[in-house]
Amino acid sequence: MNKQKIGFIGAGNMARSLIGGLISSGVKSDQLFATDLNKDNRNALTADFSITTFADNQKLVNECDVVVFAVKPQVLKTVATSVKAKDAALYLTIAAGIPSESLNNWLGSNKAIVRAMPNTPSLVLSGASGLFANTHVSEEQKETAESILRAVGVAVWVEDEAQLDAVTALSGSGPAYFFMVLEAMEKAGEALGLSADTARLLAIQTGFGTTKLALESEKDPAILRKQVTSPGGTTEQAIKTFEELGLVEIFNKAMTAARDRAEVLAKELGE
């Protein structure tokens, strides 16, 4: 990202993870800036990452080539309309649900805007993010936005902004699905006689190892599943039970419900 100056409006957990990831990837601390209403949060960022912080959002906007809105969706409109945006800057928002057109209008129109939908594993540099760029974003700015999100995991682009609602349903909300599966496996293990600690450790390590295996393999998850499902064996019996109970259809219905809710929130928050 050469010597571009990147500023974060908001110093919450996601901003901290992005700042830490960028520094780990080689971005210099003097390229990074942040604002936050809380003085303690600003001081913590300076102490932990040696970056410059401001209490005034406008000072950050004036200073930076890239402005990252890392605030809650409910306050994004107030924050965006309170600053005088520069035409040449890239504006990257990680506030869920706010359409790029709304942010563009709040900033004064014809601004280069990238929407990002990161998920909570970004906090441990293992995130998955969906990205969408409006028509004012240059290829260089797209590369910059992707580099910022890749500092905390993987990043993929969608061509249609509406697809970010599907990203929200899949990877944005997805960590909760995995936590629920881990919780269910842990409880089932306890019901089968294992101690709570043992069941929890085995469930979590199995989840970690399985996703790592899938990530590093070139094979489709369906093939990997079949490879560990011996005919007539224990795994086959469990898989048959899942199929009989309609697990795939349950996921389809759940993720569709999440997508539909994301669409509703986008309309409400973008007004």
- Whole-number Å distance between alpha carbons of 76 and 220: 39
pLDDT of residue 208: 97
DSSP 246: T
What per-residue string of b and e applies to 9-24 under the rule 16 or more CB within 10 Å gives b? bbbeebbbbbbbbbbe
Give the contacts of 271 (CB within 8 A, at least 6 positions apart): 102
What pLDDT score was predicted for residue 266? 86
> What's the confidence (pLDDT) of residue 270?
79
Domains of the chain: 6-164 (3.40.50.720), 174-265 (1.10.3730.10)
Identify whether the C-beta of residue 113 lies closer than 8 Å to the C-beta of residue 9. Answer: no
Instruction: Please tell me the distance from the alpha carbon of residue 261 to that of residue 258, in angstroms, as a whole number.
Output: 5
CB 132 within 8 A of CB 114: yes
| Whole-number pLDDT of residue 267 | 86
Straight-line distance from the first to the last Cα atom of the chain, in angstroms, rounded to the nearest whole number: 34
Radius of gyration for the alpha carbons in the chain, expressed in angstroms and rounded: 21
For 126-139, b/e burial (b = at least 16 CB within 10 A) is ebbbbbbbbebbee
Binned average pLDDT, 10 residues per bin, the chain of 271 residues: 91 94 96 95 95 96 97 95 96 94 95 97 96 97 97 97 96 97 98 98 98 96 96 96 97 97 88 74
Going by their DSSP bridges, the two strands 112-117 and 32-35 should be labelled as: unpaired
In whole angstroms, what is the distance from residue 44 CA to residue 51 CA? 10
CA–CA separation, 131 and 149 (whole Å): 9
Amino acid identity, residue 27?
Answer: V
Task: Note the pLDDT of residue 10.
Answer: 95
Angle at 115 between CA 111 and CA 116, to 5 degrees: 150
* C-alpha atoms less than 13 angstroms from C-alpha of 137 in its C-beta half-sphere: 22
Among 63, 66, 35, 64, which residue's Cα sits nearest to residue 147?
Answer: 66
pLDDT at 63: 96
Q: What angle do CA 227, 229, 233 make, to 5 degrees?
A: 145
Task: Report residue 221 as tokens.
Answer: 């998850």
- Give the number of other Cβ atoms within 10 Å of residue 222's Cβ: 8
